[in-house]
Amino acid sequence: MDVRKILAEDPVLPQAAAAQEVVWINRGRMPFGVAAKQIPFGKAEVADAAARLKRFAPLLRALFPETGDGVIESPLTAIPAMGKRLGCERLLLKRDSDLAVAGSVKARGGIYEVLKHSETLALEAGLLTGIDDDYTRLATPDARAFFARRKVQVGSTGNLGVSIGMMSAALGYQAIVHMSADAKQWKKDYLRAHGVTVIEYAGDYGKAVEQGRAESDADPMSYFVDDENSKDLFFGYAVAAERLAAQLAAANISVNAEHPLFVYIPCGVGGAPGGIAFGLKLLYGDNVHVFFAEPIQAPCMLLGLATGLQNGICVQDVGLTGLTHADGLAVGRPSGFVGRIMAPLLSGEMTVADGRLYDYLRTLRDSEGIFIEPSACAAFQGVAAAVSAPEMADYARQNGLDMARATHIAWATGGKLVPQEQRQVFYHTHLSPENPSL
């Protein structure tokens, strides 16, 4: 691989390869009407996912009473004090950090894929007579015994493992999570406390996925959740868009050409932010502008998109380590499946130093009384860039956007399940400018 030639593909790439904070604008973005014709799925698949989640609501209510009506959803909260600190008016926080069951955005796609797989098995085995049946039948002893003969496995840096593990174990499966070295110990402990088998690896996320997939493929009674290539995960995440739209409407917030919507989502391998972005584009088209945020040592999606190589390149190829305090974002190679969908849709990316994540964490806690984990705080790098980065000013001008009328949403991806003692550790973590990351 000729690294020098690759880095010459985009003027931002040499800076990104030098572990600098950058703002990258996607020159390949197309009008949504044009881009949609290149994507082999659309509203029908997302509607199918939404309908399936509705069918499962009674079961989720029975298994997890904290969900209330069985719909796993998070609030949309105005955070004006945080906005003032960042110099951004009309700033809201989408609090997937508070999602029930898994405490992160992974509760969307992860739980959905386990439910879809379970529905398929249950219909084939006669545990359900049809999609109009009572889905609480899947919580009976007979159903649990049926699922107990089967395994669900996944490779994860943390949050997806919690989502898959919790849902699978609740149904009775043998749940196995293959976790990379950067996964937080408390997440491993949490899973084990809920009956999930956790297998630890000295390597990174890619190694955990590779080994987990190999073990699952060798067992005909095992199902592997593939974070890199799963359409089911993707559609589960995409359902978030219609729910957000209802929340915006309830808050009397318009999204149109005169009132653009800017959304900033932390990105690891790409599944969750990609699915959410896709759902938002289906609803709002060219009136929504989605940006991903990644750590300076692990900007895998930025590299894949900016070079056009997608999963044909990893951060180590350009001299980066992939190591970061943002454990959920510690991914060296992006999803090629997601990258190809995002190529004509995504507005751009920001990268952020680890030290700044803790600064955002403290600022949010002090100004709004809200805690989210460090990786989730990457979203605020997008907000800060929207206010001050010349690249964003150029983007607004070239697209004829009135930023004074824009609404900004930082998508908080995790935090609810973080133990109190760990929250204090995060709050008091300071990294010097000379050593902003690991």
Q: What is the pLDDT of residues 71-110, one digit of tens each?
A: 999 999 999 999 999 999 999 999 999 999 999 999 999 9
Mean pLDDT of 403-407: 97
Mean pLDDT of 240-244: 98
- Is the pLDDT higher at 392 or at 434? 392
Mean pLDDT of 43-55: 98
Cβ–Cβ < 8 Å for 347, 339: no
Cβ–Cβ < 8 Å for 295, 352: yes
Backbone region of residue 322 per phi and psi (left: phi > 0; alpha: psi in -120 to 50; beta: other values): left
Q: What percent of the chain has pLDDT over 90?
A: 89
Give the model confidence (pLDDT) of 181-210 as tens digits: 777 888 899 999 999 999 988 877 788 888
Residue 437: the pLDDT is 52
Tell me how far apart the alpha carbons of residues 288 and 286 are, in angstroms, rounded to a whole number: 6
pLDDT score of 435 more than 60: no
**pTM for the full predicted model:** 0.96
Give the model confidence (pLDDT) of 323-371 as tens digits: 999 988 999 999 999 999 999 999 999 999 999 999 999 999 999 999 9
Domains and CATH numbers, the chain: 3-103+233-427 (3.40.50.1100), 106-228 (3.40.50.1100)
Tell me how far apart the alpha carbons of residues 374 and 158 are, in angstroms, rounded to a whole number: 13
Q: What percent of the chain has pLDDT over 70?
A: 99
pLDDT score of 399 more than 60: yes
Residue 247: the pLDDT is 98
pLDDT score of 436 more than 70: no
pLDDT score of 438 more than 70: no
Give the model confidence (pLDDT) of 252-297 as tens digits: 999 999 999 999 999 999 999 999 999 999 999 999 999 999 999 9
pLDDT score of 20 more than 90: yes
| pLDDT tier, 434 (very low <50, low <70, confident <90, very high otherwise) | very low
Computed over every residue of the chain, the mean pLDDT equals: 95
